[in-house]
Amino acid sequence: MSETSQNSSSHTPLAIFPDNRAILAIGGADAAHFLNNLLTANIESLAPGAGVPAALLTPQGKIIAEMLVFNASDEDPLFLIDVGSGFADDLVGKLTTYRLRAAVSIDRLGEPATVLACLDCSGRAEITGDEFYTFPDPRHPGLGHRLYGPADALKSIAIRIGEAGRDVYHRRRATLGIPEAGQDYIPSDRFPHEVNLDQLGGIDFKKGCYIGQEVISRMEHRGTARTRTMILTTRNGFGLLGGLEVRAGDVLLGQAGESYGPTLLAQVRIDKLSDALESNTDITAGGVELNIRKPEYAKF
Protein backbone atom coordinates (compact mmCIF):
# COMPACT_ATOMS: atom_id res chain seq x y z
CA MET A 1 0.00 0.00 0.00
CA SER A 2 1.37 3.43 -0.90
CA GLU A 3 1.97 6.09 1.72
CA THR A 4 -0.54 8.36 0.03
CA SER A 5 -3.33 5.85 0.52
CA GLN A 6 -2.55 4.92 4.11
CA ASN A 7 -4.45 6.48 6.95
CA SER A 8 -2.24 8.88 8.86
CA SER A 9 -3.10 7.07 12.09
CA SER A 10 -0.97 4.15 10.87
CA HIS A 11 2.15 6.32 11.14
CA THR A 12 4.14 7.14 14.25
CA PRO A 13 3.89 10.88 15.09
CA LEU A 14 7.10 12.69 14.21
CA ALA A 15 8.31 16.25 14.79
CA ILE A 16 10.67 17.74 12.23
CA PHE A 17 12.47 21.07 11.95
CA PRO A 18 12.59 21.78 8.17
CA ASP A 19 15.64 24.11 8.70
CA ASN A 20 15.15 25.89 5.38
CA ARG A 21 12.14 28.05 6.19
CA ALA A 22 11.68 31.68 7.25
CA ILE A 23 8.72 33.36 8.95
CA LEU A 24 7.31 36.75 8.02
CA ALA A 25 4.74 38.56 10.16
CA ILE A 26 2.34 40.84 8.28
CA GLY A 27 0.18 43.00 10.56
CA GLY A 28 -1.87 46.16 10.53
CA ALA A 29 -5.41 47.17 9.66
CA ASP A 30 -4.84 46.76 5.90
CA ALA A 31 -2.92 43.47 6.11
CA ALA A 32 -5.57 41.18 4.58
CA HIS A 33 -6.46 43.57 1.75
CA PHE A 34 -2.79 44.27 1.07
CA LEU A 35 -1.87 40.59 0.71
CA ASN A 36 -5.04 39.80 -1.23
CA ASN A 37 -4.12 42.36 -3.89
CA LEU A 38 -0.68 40.82 -4.37
CA LEU A 39 -0.89 37.05 -3.90
CA THR A 40 -2.56 34.35 -5.96
CA ALA A 41 -4.73 33.03 -3.10
CA ASN A 42 -7.75 34.70 -1.51
CA ILE A 43 -6.41 36.09 1.76
CA GLU A 44 -9.44 38.20 2.67
CA SER A 45 -11.60 35.07 2.95
CA LEU A 46 -9.04 33.22 5.08
CA ALA A 47 -10.50 32.51 8.52
CA PRO A 48 -8.45 32.85 11.72
CA GLY A 49 -6.63 29.60 12.36
CA ALA A 50 -6.61 28.62 8.67
CA GLY A 51 -3.90 28.66 6.05
CA VAL A 52 -3.51 28.56 2.29
CA PRO A 53 -0.65 28.07 -0.18
CA ALA A 54 0.02 31.13 -2.31
CA ALA A 55 2.57 32.80 -4.54
CA LEU A 56 3.81 36.26 -5.44
CA LEU A 57 4.27 36.52 -9.20
CA THR A 58 5.98 38.72 -11.71
CA PRO A 59 3.70 40.66 -14.09
CA GLN A 60 4.55 37.92 -16.63
CA GLY A 61 3.08 35.28 -14.30
CA LYS A 62 6.34 33.62 -13.19
CA ILE A 63 6.84 32.80 -9.51
CA ILE A 64 8.90 35.14 -7.34
CA ALA A 65 8.18 33.22 -4.15
CA GLU A 66 5.74 30.48 -3.15
CA MET A 67 4.62 30.35 0.45
CA LEU A 68 2.12 29.29 3.06
CA VAL A 69 -0.04 32.07 4.50
CA PHE A 70 -1.75 31.59 7.87
CA ASN A 71 -4.30 33.84 9.54
CA ALA A 72 -3.01 34.27 13.09
CA SER A 73 -5.34 37.19 13.88
CA ASP A 74 -6.79 37.59 17.35
CA GLU A 75 -7.85 41.09 18.34
CA ASP A 76 -5.59 42.61 15.70
CA PRO A 77 -4.93 41.44 12.13
CA LEU A 78 -1.86 39.23 11.84
CA PHE A 79 -0.75 36.91 9.05
CA LEU A 80 2.23 34.58 9.20
CA ILE A 81 4.02 33.75 5.97
CA ASP A 82 6.10 30.57 5.85
CA VAL A 83 8.55 30.83 2.94
CA GLY A 84 11.81 29.21 1.88
CA SER A 85 14.64 31.01 3.67
CA GLY A 86 16.48 31.64 0.41
CA PHE A 87 13.54 33.67 -0.90
CA ALA A 88 12.55 35.52 2.28
CA ASP A 89 14.63 38.69 1.87
CA ASP A 90 13.49 39.16 -1.72
CA LEU A 91 9.88 38.67 -0.64
CA VAL A 92 10.24 41.23 2.14
CA GLY A 93 11.72 43.68 -0.36
CA LYS A 94 8.89 43.16 -2.86
CA LEU A 95 6.19 43.49 -0.21
CA THR A 96 7.83 46.63 1.15
CA THR A 97 7.90 48.14 -2.33
CA TYR A 98 4.18 47.52 -2.79
CA ARG A 99 3.19 48.71 0.69
CA LEU A 100 3.15 52.44 -0.18
CA ARG A 101 0.82 54.10 2.35
CA ALA A 102 -1.08 51.03 3.46
CA ALA A 103 -1.46 50.45 7.20
CA VAL A 104 0.74 47.35 7.12
CA SER A 105 3.79 46.17 9.03
CA ILE A 106 6.21 43.71 7.42
CA ASP A 107 8.71 41.88 9.60
CA ARG A 108 10.99 38.91 9.10
CA LEU A 109 11.07 37.04 12.40
CA GLY A 110 14.55 35.98 13.38
CA GLU A 111 15.72 33.75 16.19
CA PRO A 112 14.31 32.40 18.42
CA ALA A 113 11.22 32.06 16.17
CA THR A 114 11.25 28.86 14.15
CA VAL A 115 9.08 26.36 12.25
CA LEU A 116 8.23 22.83 13.36
CA ALA A 117 6.45 20.35 11.08
CA CYS A 118 4.55 17.68 12.98
CA LEU A 119 3.53 14.66 10.92
CA ASP A 120 0.59 12.52 12.08
CA CYS A 121 0.21 14.48 15.31
CA SER A 122 -3.52 15.16 15.05
CA GLY A 123 -5.12 14.96 18.48
CA ARG A 124 -1.84 15.24 20.37
CA ALA A 125 -2.13 17.71 23.24
CA GLU A 126 1.52 18.72 22.79
CA ILE A 127 0.86 20.58 19.53
CA THR A 128 -1.40 23.22 21.09
CA GLY A 129 -0.35 25.89 23.58
CA ASP A 130 -0.19 29.59 24.40
CA GLU A 131 3.48 30.02 23.48
CA PHE A 132 3.15 29.13 19.82
CA TYR A 133 0.80 28.99 16.84
CA THR A 134 -0.48 25.72 15.38
CA PHE A 135 -2.08 25.32 11.96
CA PRO A 136 -3.00 22.33 9.78
CA ASP A 137 -0.79 22.26 6.71
CA PRO A 138 -3.18 23.49 3.99
CA ARG A 139 -1.53 21.59 1.16
CA HIS A 140 -2.32 18.03 2.22
CA PRO A 141 -3.55 16.24 5.37
CA GLY A 142 -0.55 13.94 5.08
CA LEU A 143 1.74 16.87 5.91
CA GLY A 144 0.15 17.23 9.34
CA HIS A 145 0.55 20.48 11.26
CA ARG A 146 2.96 23.38 11.27
CA LEU A 147 3.93 25.10 14.50
CA TYR A 148 5.46 28.57 14.79
CA GLY A 149 7.03 29.92 17.94
CA PRO A 150 10.14 30.11 20.15
CA ALA A 151 12.74 27.48 19.37
CA ASP A 152 12.99 26.30 22.98
CA ALA A 153 9.25 25.67 23.25
CA LEU A 154 9.11 23.81 19.92
CA LYS A 155 12.24 21.80 20.74
CA SER A 156 10.54 20.63 23.95
CA ILE A 157 7.52 19.49 21.90
CA ALA A 158 9.76 17.68 19.42
CA ILE A 159 11.49 15.77 22.21
CA ARG A 160 8.19 14.66 23.73
CA ILE A 161 6.69 13.58 20.40
CA GLY A 162 9.84 12.17 18.86
CA GLU A 163 12.12 14.15 16.56
CA ALA A 164 13.11 13.01 13.08
CA GLY A 165 15.48 14.42 10.47
CA ARG A 166 14.33 16.80 7.77
CA ASP A 167 14.75 14.05 5.16
CA VAL A 168 11.67 12.34 6.64
CA TYR A 169 9.58 15.44 6.00
CA HIS A 170 10.86 15.80 2.44
CA ARG A 171 10.29 12.14 1.63
CA ARG A 172 6.70 12.42 2.82
CA ARG A 173 6.23 15.60 0.81
CA ALA A 174 7.70 14.09 -2.34
CA THR A 175 5.61 10.92 -1.99
CA LEU A 176 2.50 13.11 -1.82
CA GLY A 177 3.64 15.21 -4.79
CA ILE A 178 3.92 18.54 -2.94
CA PRO A 179 6.68 20.64 -4.53
CA GLU A 180 8.66 23.33 -2.74
CA ALA A 181 10.73 26.06 -4.34
CA GLY A 182 14.46 25.58 -4.12
CA GLN A 183 14.26 21.84 -3.56
CA ASP A 184 12.09 20.83 -6.50
CA TYR A 185 12.14 23.77 -8.89
CA ILE A 186 13.58 27.22 -9.51
CA PRO A 187 10.76 29.75 -8.97
CA SER A 188 11.75 32.27 -11.64
CA ASP A 189 11.52 29.52 -14.28
CA ARG A 190 7.99 28.40 -13.43
CA PHE A 191 4.35 29.38 -13.71
CA PRO A 192 2.07 28.40 -10.77
CA HIS A 193 0.28 25.76 -12.87
CA GLU A 194 3.61 24.03 -13.54
CA VAL A 195 4.12 23.39 -9.82
CA ASN A 196 0.46 22.39 -9.32
CA LEU A 197 -0.40 25.45 -7.24
CA ASP A 198 -3.83 25.58 -8.85
CA GLN A 199 -4.42 21.94 -7.84
CA LEU A 200 -3.38 22.67 -4.25
CA GLY A 201 -5.86 25.54 -3.77
CA GLY A 202 -3.25 28.26 -4.07
CA ILE A 203 -4.91 30.25 -6.87
CA ASP A 204 -8.28 31.97 -6.60
CA PHE A 205 -9.64 32.40 -10.12
CA LYS A 206 -12.67 34.41 -8.96
CA LYS A 207 -11.16 37.14 -6.83
CA GLY A 208 -10.03 40.58 -7.97
CA CYS A 209 -6.73 41.49 -9.54
CA TYR A 210 -3.32 40.40 -8.31
CA ILE A 211 0.06 40.67 -9.93
CA GLY A 212 0.30 38.35 -12.93
CA GLN A 213 -3.41 37.51 -12.85
CA GLU A 214 -4.06 38.13 -16.55
CA VAL A 215 -1.47 35.56 -17.63
CA ILE A 216 -2.57 32.96 -15.08
CA SER A 217 -6.27 33.37 -15.85
CA ARG A 218 -5.61 33.00 -19.58
CA MET A 219 -3.59 29.85 -18.95
CA GLU A 220 -6.43 28.42 -16.86
CA HIS A 221 -9.33 29.24 -19.14
CA ARG A 222 -7.55 28.27 -22.34
CA GLY A 223 -6.16 25.08 -20.83
CA THR A 224 -2.64 25.87 -22.00
CA ALA A 225 -0.78 24.41 -19.00
CA ARG A 226 1.28 21.67 -20.64
CA THR A 227 3.89 21.23 -17.91
CA ARG A 228 2.95 19.70 -14.56
CA THR A 229 4.75 18.43 -11.48
CA MET A 230 4.81 14.62 -11.39
CA ILE A 231 6.12 12.04 -8.93
CA LEU A 232 9.05 9.90 -10.06
CA THR A 233 10.52 6.82 -8.40
CA THR A 234 13.67 5.04 -9.50
CA ARG A 235 13.20 1.41 -10.45
CA ASN A 236 16.52 0.46 -8.87
CA GLY A 237 15.51 1.94 -5.50
CA PHE A 238 18.42 4.39 -5.32
CA GLY A 239 18.48 8.18 -5.33
CA LEU A 240 19.57 10.50 -8.12
CA LEU A 241 21.37 13.80 -8.40
CA GLY A 242 19.03 16.78 -8.49
CA GLY A 243 18.65 18.71 -11.72
CA LEU A 244 18.82 15.76 -14.09
CA GLU A 245 16.90 15.84 -17.34
CA VAL A 246 13.92 13.51 -17.53
CA ARG A 247 13.66 11.84 -20.92
CA ALA A 248 11.56 9.39 -22.88
CA GLY A 249 14.10 7.96 -25.27
CA ASP A 250 15.59 11.01 -26.98
CA VAL A 251 12.63 13.26 -26.10
CA LEU A 252 13.17 15.75 -23.28
CA LEU A 253 10.20 15.69 -20.89
CA GLY A 254 11.45 18.01 -18.16
CA GLN A 255 13.82 18.44 -15.26
CA ALA A 256 13.87 16.75 -11.86
CA GLY A 257 14.46 18.35 -8.50
CA GLU A 258 16.23 16.88 -5.48
CA SER A 259 15.95 13.17 -4.80
CA TYR A 260 14.59 11.94 -1.46
CA GLY A 261 15.60 8.33 -1.41
CA PRO A 262 14.18 6.80 -4.60
CA THR A 263 11.49 9.50 -4.91
CA LEU A 264 11.75 12.86 -6.63
CA LEU A 265 9.52 15.46 -8.23
CA ALA A 266 9.85 16.83 -11.74
CA GLN A 267 8.12 19.35 -13.96
CA VAL A 268 7.17 17.32 -17.00
CA ARG A 269 5.52 18.05 -20.34
CA ILE A 270 2.38 15.95 -19.94
CA ASP A 271 1.56 15.94 -23.65
CA LYS A 272 4.97 14.42 -24.46
CA LEU A 273 4.63 12.07 -21.49
CA SER A 274 1.31 10.81 -22.82
CA ASP A 275 2.94 10.00 -26.16
CA ALA A 276 5.77 8.16 -24.39
CA LEU A 277 3.42 6.09 -22.27
CA GLU A 278 1.30 5.15 -25.28
CA SER A 279 4.40 3.93 -27.09
CA ASN A 280 5.77 2.15 -23.98
CA THR A 281 8.95 4.21 -24.11
CA ASP A 282 11.04 4.01 -20.93
CA ILE A 283 11.24 7.16 -18.83
CA THR A 284 14.77 7.83 -17.57
CA ALA A 285 16.93 10.39 -15.77
CA GLY A 286 20.70 10.04 -15.86
CA GLY A 287 20.22 6.68 -17.54
CA VAL A 288 18.16 5.33 -14.62
CA GLU A 289 14.71 3.98 -15.42
CA LEU A 290 11.82 5.64 -13.62
CA ASN A 291 8.20 5.02 -12.76
CA ILE A 292 6.07 8.13 -13.07
CA ARG A 293 2.67 9.04 -11.71
CA LYS A 294 0.61 12.12 -11.02
CA PRO A 295 -0.26 13.13 -7.44
CA GLU A 296 -3.53 11.72 -6.12
CA TYR A 297 -4.89 15.25 -5.60
CA ALA A 298 -4.30 16.23 -9.24
CA LYS A 299 -7.28 16.74 -11.55
CA PHE A 300 -5.28 17.32 -14.75
Domains assigned to the chain? 14-176 (3.30.1360.120), 187-293 (2.40.30.160)
Q: Considering the chain, what percentage of its residues have pLDDT values greater than 70?
A: 97
CA distance 237 to 291: 11
Q: How many residues are present in the chain? A: 300
As a three-state string, the secondary structure of 178-238 is CCCECCCECHHHCCHHHHCCCCCCCCCCCCCCCCCHHHHHHHHHHCCCCEEEEEEEECCCC
Q: Tell me the pLDDT tens digit for each residue of 135-160.
A: 999 999 999 999 999 999 999 999 99
Confidence of residue 273 (pLDDT cuts 50, 70, 90): very high
Confidence of residue 10 (pLDDT cuts 50, 70, 90): low
Q: Tell me the pLDDT tens digit for each residue of 52-92.
A: 999 999 999 999 999 999 999 999 999 999 999 999 999 99
Question: Contact 236/289 with Cβ under 8 angstroms?
Answer: yes
Going by their DSSP bridges, the two strands 263-269 and 227-234 should be labelled as antiparallel
Q: What is the pLDDT of residue 172?
A: 97
Q: Give the DSSP letter string of 28-78.
A: STTHHHHHHTTBSS--TTPPTT-EEEEEEE-TTS-EEEEEEEEE--SSS-E
- Global pTM reads 0.94
Mean pLDDT of 179-207: 97
